[in-house]
Amino acid sequence: MNECYLGVDIGSISTKAVVIDNHNHIVASQYIWTEGNPIKAVKKLIKEIKCQLPRNVIIKGIGTTGSARKLIGLMLDANIVKNEITAHAIGTLAFYPKTRTILEIGGQDSKIILIKDGIIVDYSMNTLCAAGTGAFLSSQAKRLGIDIEDFGKLALKSVSPVKIAARCTVFAESDLVHKAQVGYKKEDIIAGLCRSIVINYLNNVGKGKKISGPIVFQGGVSKNVGVLKYFKEILNEDIIVDENSHLMGAIGIALLARKYKTGKTYDLSMVDVSFETKGFECSDCSNNCEVLKIYKDSKLIDAWGSKCHKY
């Protein structure tokens, strides 16, 4: 039998999964939209992964990362749950061991990770604002009547990118509308938007950071060749974009699941069980804690949010 390990990265916009073997080969992978329901998304994801797996594969470890990692880790009985910073670094170093800087722009957040001698020495994430992320780009593409898949290619056709104020989503949208109304070419507007995203990222997420090569660019936005172009130009560095750059968090957590395996074998039919959450506000004291109860097959298995540990 081929022992393999499942890594699941649950983000606010997308949910990703990979299955790797003992030689770091990807046996199966899937990328779907979270659509505001991580439990439903993971159930769908695992069913699609199961269809890809060869008959001789057994799952010997499961890891979860991303914004809903704790919830989904409980659901899948994961043997390891880790933050995105760790997962992305582990995944990247497995394939690019000399990496010094990781640039990551996802659906609704972005981060930078600095590495020295294979160890994370610094990192930073964006604030609550989603300016410059994948969701921001998608909304602007829709506004301009462009398929997001063609966004970057159109940017490469520009010879005179316009200036777009992308520091804030509201200002960027109004600036974009104004530029379109006064007659700027669509490809120049798109190129300007891609360039402003890079400048915004470096001035905020990358502020005060010493960015050194080799540099690896990850997340869904790394597939945008327009954004990649301006990262290269502004940093004056070559930048690596792996074919699985959008899956690197899932790859990293799968590698950690292998490292910390317990000997247990996982049956992926576990996603067929009933798994739900119920929230309420406890009024037994002045804390008024928002408590979340987690049920598996109608049985209470955990509760979060209680400051006094009553639940």
> Any idea what the CATH number is for the domain that residue 53 is in?
3.30.420.40
Residue showing tokens 């997962």:
87
Residue 164, domain extent: 97-241
Same domain, 146 and 86: no
Shared-domain flag, residues 143 and 188: yes
Q: In whole angstroms, what is the distance from residue 251 CA to residue 87 CA?
A: 8
User: Which residue in 39, 44, 16, 42 sits closest to 29, CA to CA?
Assistant: 16
Record the tokens describing residue 123, joined without a space.
């990192």
Work out how many domains the chain is built from and give that number: 3
Distance of alpha carbon 172 from alpha carbon 192, whole angstroms: 11
Q: Do 115 and 228 fall within a single domain?
A: yes
Q: Is 186 found in the same domain as 226?
A: yes
Can you give the pLDDT of all 311 residues of the chain as single tens digits? Answer: 799 999 999 988 889 999 999 999 999 999 998 888 898 899 999 999 998 999 899 999 999 998 889 989 988 989 999 999 999 999 999 999 999 999 998 877 789 999 999 999 999 887 656 666 777 777 777 777 777 777 777 778 787 777 776 666 566 667 766 666 676 777 888 888 888 888 888 888 888 899 998 999 998 888 888 889 999 999 999 999 999 998 999 999 999 999 999 989 998 887 777 887 888 888 878 778 888 888 888 888 788 777 877 76
Do 211 and 304 fall within a single domain? no
Q: Measured at the alpha carbon of residue 110, what is the angle toward residues 160 and 176, in degrees to the nearest 5?
A: 35
Contact assessment for residue 6 and residue 49, using Cβ atoms and an 8 Å cutoff:
yes
Distance of CA 59 to the CA centre of its chain: 23
| Nearest Cα to Cα of residue 110 among 134, 91, 126, 90 | 126
- Its pTM stands at 0.85
